[in-house]
Amino acid sequence: MANKRVETGRGRKPGVVKSSKSSTSNRAFFLLIGSIAILGIGALTYLSTRPSGAAAAASPIDTTLPKIESQGYVIGNASAPLEVTEFGDFECPQCGRFASISEPDVRSRLVNTGTIRFRFIDYPLPMHANTWNASRAAACAAEQDKFWEMHDAIFANQDRWNGEATHNPDKVLKQIGAQIGLKTDAFNQCIDTKKTQAKVQAHYEIATKRQVNATPTFVIGDKQIAAYMPYDEFKKLVDDALAKQGTPVASPADTTKAPANDTKKSVPLKKGQ
Amino acid sequence: MSRRKWMAVVSLAGLFLGAYLTLYHYGFIGTLACNVSSCEKVQTSRWSMFLGLPVATWGAGFYVLMLVLTVAGLQPRYESSRTLSLVLLMMSGWGLLFTAWLNYLEAFVIHAWCEWCLGSATLVLVLFVLSFLDWRAVESSGNVEELTAD
């Protein structure tokens, strides 16, 4: 038996390995593997190094559209030279990412310095089960002049109330409302009666009229960008828009590192009209 | 070319596909948004994560493993290993089931199709068919050998 093994060659079975001697097959194999590897690495390198930032994703806006006015929720100085609008969905992970990573800087360095005014308009996407509840709750908080506190808390707690976490989002949203200091009786009643449904619906319609089809979508100057943005890209687009309309770009002092969350309380709050 | 060589080629292609979608998931390629249509909707849905990692990353890992195993299977030592061919079959079978589950989610829960995910599904199907043929060939030749050896 041992002899037989030596003769046949260890583990080599002619029925299975038909082509081990065929060098053309090997050459074809290595050629194929090599070209796929080169193609794949080349494509990935190209895709990850080309300018893929928000500026690249920006599309020009039809300037004949009427200005977005008196809708959504506004934070910042009414006389700020530029208004930036975000169409957002409270259950969208990328909106949550923007709210928690970029927005603190946007508030402290651009909104609080009077460079921009920031408007948030709900665009609850149909694929998110609980997003309408969150939009209604935020609108309820706005009735107590606490929209932005609620906005931040809703995004920060996305994983507690989203469609994956619960079938009863209102319960969690009520808890969040209580945590940020809302008058719970009025707030809970507002949620239970869906009092703010029409307002959210109106915001949704603004977004669909403007053919927004993704969140977050930002309108900065004459550009529309449907993508998450880190602060630096956001700032660049703001600078570009300011330069285009002839307003001097914010001084470099504005770009010094500021603690992200320290200004939230001092921000002037304005309820959407 | 032998079946295992084709499997290696398919696995490598799948690996790049998984790497692409992983880079996309983390925002290194293109921009991320929650979209109402197609790939973005699938990629940003909550089912794009599995046990804390993007599904695409699991896919890339699966293809790496398949690639390593098939390349090992090209070595004369393992060319007719029944264990290896069984492992390949079971792995690609598992991959096929997982992909079927993802396709089910796309069709009936997310209501959107991501063409890259469908591409991966095709690759997994090809891998499964090839590994099944490979397993059958190894099994039958093994039986012949055993008969002659005893």
Average pLDDT for chain A: 81
Q: Which residues pair with B136 in a beta bridge?
A: none
Q: Is residue A173 part of a domain?
A: yes
On whether residue A70 sits in a domain, the answer given is no
Q: Please report, for the domain that includes residue A206, its CATH number.
A: 3.40.30.10
The reply to whether A155 falls in a domain is yes
Give the residue numbers spanning the domain of A117.
Answer: 81-270
pLDDT of the residue at B143: 57
Spatial CA neighbour of A256 closest among A111, A103, A109, A98? A109
CB B48 within 8 A of CB B110: no
Residue A170 in domain: yes
Query: B31-77: per-residue pLDDT in tens?
Result: 777 776 667 777 777 777 788 888 889 999 999 999 999 988 888 88
Which ipTM value was assigned to this complex? Answer: 0.74
Average pLDDT over residues A2-23: 49
Q: Cα(A135)–Cα(B86) distance, rounded to whole angstroms?
A: 53
Count of structural domains, chain A: 1
Global confidence as pTM: 0.69
CA distance to partner chain B, nearest, from residue A186 (Å): 32
**Residues in B touching A163 (Cβ below 8 Å):** 46
Matching residue, tokens 């990353």: B57
Question: For A33-56, what is each residue's pLDDT tens digit?
Answer: 899 899 999 988 887 777 655 666
- Chain A 108-167, residues with CB within 8 Å of chain B CB atoms: 125-128, 162-164
What superfamily would CATH give domain B3-149?
VKOR domain (1.20.1440.130)
The string of DSSP codes covering A32-84 is HHHHHHHHHHHHHHHHHHS--SHHHH-EE--TTSPPP-S-SEEES-TT-SEEE
Confidence of residue A256 (pLDDT cuts 50, 70, 90): very low
A245 vs A103, higher pLDDT: A103
Confidence of residue B82 (pLDDT cuts 50, 70, 90): confident
- Asked if residue A45 is part of any domain, the answer here is no
Query: What pLDDT was estimated at residue A236?
Result: 92
Residue A179 inside a domain? The answer is: yes
Nearest CA in chain A to B73: A17
What is the helix (H) or strand (E) element at residue A188, kind and residue range? helix A184-192
Distances (CA, A) of A206 to A72, A83, A121, A250, A271: 9, 16, 8, 30, 18
Tell whether A137 is covered by a domain: yes
In terms of average pLDDT, the best of A249-253, B16-20, B80-84, B142-146 is B16-20
**Domain assignment present for A162:** yes
Q: Tell me which residue of A98, A126, A114 sits closest to A230, measured CA to CA.
A: A98
- d(CA A73, CA A267) in angstroms, rounded, equals 14
Tens digits of residue pLDDT in A137-161: 999 999 999 999 999 999 999 999 9
CA distance linking residue A148 with residue A20, whole number of Å:
69
